[in-house]
Structure 1
Amino acid sequence: MSQCGSCNKIPKTKSFLGSAFLPLEEQGWPILDTFLRAHPHPLSGYTLSCLAAWNATYQYQWVFPERGTLLISCLSPAENKRYLLQPLGLFSKESQKQVLAEAGALKYPLRIVGVDPAFVQAFPDFAAHFSVSNERDNYNYLYQTEDLAKLAGRRFSKKRNLIAQARKEYSWTVETLSDTTIGECRTVVKGAQSERHDAASPHLEQETLAVGDAVRLFPHLSFDGILIRIEGKPAAFSIFEPQNADTMVVHFEHALRAFKGLYQVVNQETARAIQERGYAHINREEDLGDPGLRQSKESYYPMRLAEALVLTFSS
């Protein structure tokens, strides 16, 4: 049985894994948003806003193969193959059998990406048909909001010094992003791109596209954020949203490197804004295996990392 009758009004795509998946289009957002909020995932990619922002790259599709179970598929840009995100909800024995049977009929090994270790523990018989590997590059970094907002103690002395130096060189104002100011984030992105002297990686190009879609869709989704101005001009921003009842996830954060210490400033101002909203934890997503990004995220002393597994069909 379908999760809701209105799904029948949305044009279906070609069958995948024996089910007629739906494109991630706006008419289906309320159904998805309700279900995703009822089944929060520890990784950042399982919110409607995140899926919508990255949809141009990953071409997400979704289906309720049974009431209480959601399957989301994604396209791998590098391989041009369709995979699954972790199944959410009930995921009954019948649904498991269907996925396994259809996986065996694929011309390539099915991969299930962004998997929480708890899923493997909850469905051991299903997981036994897959090889399981850690995907360290996609671990999410979880922080205490208070740590990033106050930067107290010796371990954050370098961060405080950079912000102090910034305060001597320039002053800034912070405002909450709104439907009328969200477009100014594009100015920051373009400015940051002009500061780069090396060729942009495919991921950076994809992120630029995702930021553009997040800006465009901002009024229609649960995005929140801040904009930092220097001398009245946009210089940095962050876009975030609630991931669950006590965690805010920061999806995008950009700053002009011409202003020394501005990345440390926007990091702290973002944490302060999130603290004001009453969230105890911050998810600052993954490092994608980038050494500089990993060092930066580790330098803020995460409370823990949310693991990401990949399941690859074997039998």
Structure 2
Amino acid sequence: MLNFRPIQLADKEWIDPLIRKGDLKTSDMNFTNLYTWAGGFKGQVAENGDRLFLRFGFLENTPCYAFPVGTGDLREAVEALKADAAGMNAPFLMRVSEDALPELEKHYNGCFDLENSDKWNDYIYSAERLATLAGKKLHAKRNHINRFDKEHEWSFELISQDNLGECRTMCDDWFMQMGEEREMDFSGERRAIYRLFDAYNVLKPDGALIRAEGRVVAFTFGEQLSSDTYLIHFEKAYPQMQGGYTLINREFVRYIMKKYPNIKWINREEDMGLENLRKAKQSYFPDMMATKYIAAWR
């Protein structure tokens, strides 16, 4: 029997090693995301052996489970999740990424119906391409940075306790500028990013900022996701300062490639069906999409 409970900050110590064993490229399998977005997705966890058991409530009161990453017996883990769903008289639904699908089908071939919604697929880019912005397709991005260079005296800084408060102040201002008309678009992200600020000392993400004319005008947070993939958690820049987003993206990826020489790919997460976010992510021409499915037991 699985005993699910809310995800707590202290769970990082035992969840991280299980996630690393999966070595998946999808943003779902990352403790910082699980913790910071837990409120919006009603995330819960159960401790049981060498697999990670996660349950979410984002499907209108129907529980949805995550593929149980780890090294324990997969059939035993899936049967435990099935039993939990049955105990609530609910259909058995499981979120599984494309790179975990072969392991699931090895044991349960033909047992699940798969459904995909592209708003939850992750955008993945070549780290080298984001660091150089080379090629005709990204010519406009280079122009944005050139304009920022001409209009502003700027510097790139790593985030630490010394400047974290400035990033939070900029974040307050950014959400205020977005206004009430876009509150629905950003309510979940707002909760998540402030949870990261509050838990910064425990989560310990990488972070960097752009300072122009003495103040923080852009910042970003991320961390290594798998053996060759890096995950961008949050990225904020003042929209009226053209080129700010492009600059913080390029400079941070350059830093990441030096710190983690094995990183080949940058995961910039999903667009959640938000049109502006989709356009922004597509404007960098992703090299691949990390597909995620809802697997429904037949």
Q: CA RMSD in A?
A: 2.1
> Separation in 1 of the partners of 2:94 and 2:76?
18
1:53 aligned to 2:36? Answer: yes
Partner letter of residue 178 of structure 1? S
- Comparing 230-239 with 190-199, greater Cα deviation is found at 190-199
Which portions of structure 1, spanning 4 or more consecutive aligned residues, are displaced by more than 4 angstroms?
Answer: none
Which residue of structure 2 aligns with residue 3 of structure 1? none
- Comparing 128-137 with 192-201, greater Cα deviation is found at 192-201
> Separation in 2 of the partners of 1:80 and 1:171?
51
> Separation in 1 of the partners of 2:248 and 2:223?
16
Residue 123 of structure 2 contacts residue 290 of structure 2 at CA under 8 Å; is this kept in 1?
A: yes
1:285 aligned to 2:269? Answer: yes
Which residue of structure 1 aligns with residue 230 of structure 2? 248
1:259 aligned to 2:257? Answer: no
> Separation in 1 of the partners of 2:117 and 2:84?
25
TM-score normalised by the chain length of structure 1 = 0.86
Q: Structure 1 stretches of 5 or more lacking a match? A: 1-17
Residue 166 of structure 2 contacts residue 216 of structure 2 at CA under 8 Å; is this kept in 1?
A: yes
1:229 aligned to 2:211? Answer: yes
Partner letter of residue 45 of structure 1? D
Q: Secondary structure at the residue paired with 2:242?
A: coil
Check 1:152–1:95 CA distance in 2 against 1; reply closer, same or farther (3 A cut). Answer: closer
What's the CA shift string for 1:173-193, capped at 9, x where partnerless? Answer: 110011222222222222222
Residue 18 of structure 2 contacts residue 51 of structure 2 at CA under 8 Å; is this kept in 1?
A: no
Which residue of structure 2 aligns with residue 173 of structure 1? 155
Which residue of structure 2 aligns with residue 306 of structure 1? 290
**Offset, 1:242:** 0.6
Which residue of structure 2 aligns with residue 93 of structure 1? 75
**Offset, 1:312:** 2.4
Which residue of structure 1 aligns with residue 9 of structure 2? 26
What's the CA shift string for 1:37-60, capped at 9, x where partnerless? Answer: 222222112111221211232342
> Separation in 1 of the partners of 2:208 and 2:99?
34
**Offset, 1:294:** 1.9
Q: Secondary structure at the residue paired with 2:161?
A: coil
TM-score normalised by the chain length of structure 2 = 0.90
**Offset, 1:154:** 1.7
Q: State, as a whole percentage, how many aligned pairs show the same letter.
A: 28
Which residue of structure 2 aligns with residue 39 of structure 1? 22
Q: Secondary structure at the residue paired with 1:199?
A: helix
Partner letter of residue 313 of structure 1? W
- Comparing 196-205 with 234-243, greater Cα deviation is found at 196-205
> Separation in 1 of the partners of 2:246 and 2:78?
46
**Offset, 1:201:** 4.4
> Separation in 2 of the partners of 1:203 and 1:170?
30
Q: Secondary structure at the residue paired with 2:278?
A: helix
Residue 98 of structure 2 contacts residue 290 of structure 2 at CA under 8 Å; is this kept in 1?
A: no
Check 1:130–1:103 CA distance in 2 against 1; reply closer, same or farther (3 A cut). Answer: farther
Residue 61 of structure 1 contacts residue 72 of structure 1 at CA under 8 Å; is this kept in 2?
A: yes
Which residue of structure 2 aligns with residue 162 of structure 1? 144
**Offset, 1:285:** 0.8
